[in-house]
Amino acid sequence: MKKLTVLKSLFLSLLVCVSLLGIYLCIVFLLPTETRYYLIVETPITFFVFLGMYLFFFILFSVLARKWKFLGIFLLSNILLTGVLFSSIFFVRTQQVKHWETKRGPSVNTTNQKDCESLDNRVWLDGKCRYKCKEGEIRDKDGYCVSCPETYVAWSVSESECLKCSNAEFFNDHCVPKKCLNEKYPLKNTYSGRCESCSDKDFRYSEEDCARCSNREMKNGYCVFRNSVAEVEKQDKLWKIPYVNGIEHGTVEVYSPDGSLFETFERVNGVANGPAKTFNKNGEIVSTFYYKDGKQEGKQIYYPHADGKTAVRFGVRQETDFVNGKREGFFRIYLDNGQIIQETQFKDDKENGYERLYNENGSLSMESEFKDGKMIKSFCYTDKGEKRELTGSAFINFANGGIDRTCDD
């Protein structure tokens, strides 16, 4: 009995799906090209609405399919849903007209050539009143204005129209970009003419285009994914990036213009994972930190002296706690004897909690309270240990340019 109920539910739900999909496709393909484009491309949520309807009907019929007399309810629901569908199409068409009127001006339906030519935004073409194409646009074979192809392929554009675009050419009966100058899509497919990204799986690209992708190399006339170390100039530095099947994998080394090692970090399947270090020109470590799934994790350690910062207030070591790429925990500054001279609490990458500053002898000199990165209160301590709130009548003196502070009136 349960199997029969499920079969009935599946049958009725499938019938609804096929009926609605057939009606939808018939209506869509009877609409003008502009409306089809707007309905399918610019409002794809329609398909998700249908999916939700199908799931709803399956649940409904799972309950009602125990008796065939509920078939009437199914038919009535189908009729009502068809009405909703027609209303939705009408609404989308109305929105599409508003969309195009915003871009092109008021819509005018006229078969009179004189009336058409009297309008600034229209032109009489092939017996129809068409919109005038703007600069950087060409007219397709259906009479509609489309933008000059920069990355995509304009399928239904004549050769004469295509050649009006400075960065386009007519290739294999289609209007395609002449050069792929877009950084995201630098590769021009020698078969389709389309501009594609360095991660696309095709291999039909020219040697010149292939050289734009550090994760690729030419082999036997094909632009294949690299399985070696690539040397790339970025940010005035030389990057040595190891690739496995076109994906960054291994230790990446970054060199300064003078040839000294500047930074190293680990990539696992294209994502930063593991330790990373930066160095000064003498090869001394400036900072160490760790990545997990592309985000900083754990303790970042910074050595100011190796970075040329010798003032006492910078200390000899600074530590920052990171969780999921954000500062979470403490930021601390240490002297060479291990004494903490600054301690700040962080939460969600903002100061939250207290910040304490210490003198070289370890005594507390200043304390502040933070919430969401903003200071709420601040206090200083006198030589006698008295606590005073920092207001307009109190201030901090930095003794002898060091870290010792005095709290005076």
Which residues are within 8 A (CB) of 174 and not within 5 positions of it... i.e. 6 or more apart? 153, 154, 155, 157, 193
Residue 255 lies in a domain: no
Q: Please say which residue of 84, 104, 124 terminates a domain.
A: 104
- Cβ-contact 239, 264 below 8 angstroms: no
88, 121: one domain: no
148, 75: one domain: no
Residue 74 lies in a domain: yes
pLDDT of residue 395: 42
Residue 80 lies in a domain: yes
Residue 247 lies in a domain: no
320, 370: one domain: yes
Q: Please say which residue of 193, 224, 255 terminates a domain.
A: 224
pLDDT of residue 121: 75
What range does the domain containing 390 cover?
297-408
Distance CA(394)–CA(396), nearest Å, equals 7
| Phi, psi torsion values for 354, nearest 5 degrees | -110, 160
Any bridge partners for residue 345, and if so which?
A: 330
Per-10-residue mean pLDDT of the chain, 409 residues long, equals 53 64 64 53 53 60 54 60 64 61 53 74 77 82 82 84 88 87 87 89 90 90 92 90 93 93 93 93 92 93 88 86 93 90 92 89 86 88 79 45 55
Q: Where are the alpha helices (DSSP H) in 205-327?
A: 207-210
| Phi, psi torsion values for 66, nearest 5 degrees | -65, -25
Residue 242 lies in a domain: no
Rg of the chain over Cα atoms, rounded to whole angstroms, equals 34
How many C-alpha atoms does 299 have within 13 Å on its Cβ side? 9
Any bridge partners for residue 408, and if so which?
A: 395
69, 123: one domain: no
Q: Please say which residue of 104, 125, 151 terminates a domain.
A: 104
Distance CA(124)–CA(33), nearest Å, equals 19
Q: In the chain, how many domains are there?
A: 3
pLDDT of residue 71: 54
- To the nearest 10°, report the CA torsion of 282, 286, 291, 297: 160
164, 118: one domain: yes
Which residues are within 8 A (CB) of 46 and not within 5 positions of it... i.e. 6 or more apart? 39, 40, 88, 92
